[in-house]
Amino acid sequence: MNQEQDNSEEIVNTIDDLSPETSGNGESAATGPDPLLPDVQQALVQKAEEVKALNDKYLRLAAEFENYKRMAQRDQRDHIRFGNEQLLKELLPVVDNMERAIKAARDDNGGNTALVQGVDLTLKQLSSTLGKFGIQAVETVGQAFDPTTHQAVSHVPSDSVPRDHVIDEFQKGYRLHDRILRAAMVSVSAGPAQTDGQDSTSN
- pLDDT for 17 equals 52
Q: What is the CATH number of the domain that holds 166?
A: 2.30.22.10
pLDDT given for residue 53 in this prediction: 92
Cα 162–Cα 166–Cα 170 angle in degrees, nearest 5: 150
Residues in the chain: 203
Looking at the domain assignment, is residue 203 inside a domain?
Answer: no
Q: For 30-56, what is the mean pLDDT?
A: 82
Model-wide pTM > 0.85: no
Q: Is the pLDDT of residue 188 over 70?
A: yes
Q: Are residues 141 and 182 in the same domain?
A: yes
Question: Are 51 and 94 in the same domain?
Answer: no
The answer to the question of residue 71 being in a domain is: yes
More confident call, 49 vs 107:
49
- On whether residue 111 sits in a domain, the answer given is yes
Other CB atoms within 10 Å distance of the CB of residue 190 = 16
How confident is residue 153, by pLDDT bands cut at 50, 70 and 90?
very high
Higher model confidence: residue 8 or residue 162?
Answer: 162
Q: What's the CA gap between 76 and 53, in Å, rounded?
A: 34
Mean pLDDT of the chain: 81
Q: Given strand 174-176, what is the order of strands in its sheet?
A: 135-137, 174-176, 179-182
The mean pLDDT value for 106-116 works out to 78
How many other CB atoms sit within 10 Å of the CB of residue 173?
Answer: 22
Cβ burial, residue 127 (10 Å; 0-12/13-18/19+): middle
Q: How many domains does the chain have?
A: 3
Is 33 a member of any domain?
Answer: no
Which of 39-43, 160-164, 191-195 has the largest mean confidence?
Answer: 160-164
Phi, psi of 27 (to 5 degrees): -95, 155
Residues 108, 156 within the same domain: no
- Examine residue 161 and state whether it is found in any structural domain, yes or no: yes
| 173/151 same-domain check | yes
Q: Say if 116 falls within a structural domain.
A: yes
Measure CA 49 to chain center.
36
Q: Are 187 and 138 within one domain?
A: yes
Which residues constitute the domain of residue 56?
38-82
Region of 32 please: left (phi>0), alpha (psi -120 to 50) or beta.
left
**Lowest mean per-residue pLDDT among 71-80, 132-141, 193-202:** 193-202
User: What's the pLDDT tens digit per position in 9-42?
Assistant: 554 454 455 444 444 444 444 556 677 788 888 8
